[in-house]
Structure 1
Amino acid sequence: MKIVVGYLPTPAGRAALRAAMAEATLRSAELVVVQAHHTKRWGRHTSPEETETALREDRAALEESGLKYELVPVADDADPADIILDVTDRTHTQLLVIGTRRRTPVGKLIMAPTTQRLLLEAGCPVLCVKAGYGSD
């Protein structure tokens, strides 16, 4: 069994990783971490220092978890939704975990394109986790 998580070193991405690790432990499943690069698009959410700290902490948490996992990088010019959907199809994923963040009232009308595609096109259940999950 496989659980796929869309990961960025942002609060929402980190929450998704924590939830995916918990689900993988509960289900005795293997984890596939689809990791996008930190680009200007995502940089507005975290500083470079916060990003590096998050990456180090999250890699350490994966290692310490004892879970079997695979890292799948997303190239800068690739569409993360395409990569995640391809991985879920290829691995016969049991669950896809993605992070979401709080949006303004106007932002709620227009969902992020990646999130929308994953919710509509994934062939498996999708767990959306709010930023801050499991950070206490």
Structure 2
Amino acid sequence: MAVVVGFIPTPVGFEALDAALAEATQRGGPLIVVNVIRPGDEADPRHAHPGDLDAAADRLRGAPVRVDIRQEQAQHDISEVLLDLVETERAELLVLGIRRGRDLGAHLLGITSQKLLLSVPCDVLVV
């Protein structure tokens, strides 16, 4: 079964990528890496640029499972893109990275995280 990781180009995002690869390997893959962006918001630090996606691909090169790296656009709700992908791919696990140095409770109450944790039809690993 598939493992989906919501990828952002930060140190925590790369940690989530590593954890997702370990889980996909254990479960027999594939690993689906997705960076969700909003059109016209290229300054958003969650927006992976081509070099960021190349770095993710380099990090996953030689993986023992099939790896699919995607960049999807969200018009409004980032969580909807991830939820749709989890359902379409029949993912068994969604991996998310959280920012360090913030109160965990406050972060989990963010709209995107909250919606994903309450709505996703599979297990969630928070890194």
Q: 2:106 aligns with which of 104, 109, 121?
A: 109
Distance in 1 (CA, whole Å) between partners of 2:21 and 2:117 is 20
- Which residue of structure 2 lines up, in the alignment, with residue 30 of structure 1? 30
Structure number with the higher helix fraction is: 1
Shift of 1:76: 5.8
2:80 is aligned with what amino acid?
A: D
2:25 is aligned with what amino acid?
A: T
State how 1:1-136 maps to structure 2 within 5 Å.
1-37=1-37, 39-42=42-45, 54-75=52-73, 77-105=75-103, 108-109=105-106, 111-129=109-127
Distance in 2 (CA, whole Å) between partners of 1:112 and 1:39 is 21
CA contact (8 A) 2:36 2:81 kept: no
Report sequence identity in percent: 33
Question: Structure 2: which 5+ runs fail to align?
Answer: none
For normalisation by structure 2, the TM-score amounts to: 0.80
Superposition CA RMSD, Å:
2.6
**Higher relative contact order, structure no. (Cα contacts within 8 Å, ≥ 6 residues apart):** 1
Distance in 1 (CA, whole Å) between partners of 2:21 and 2:65 is 8
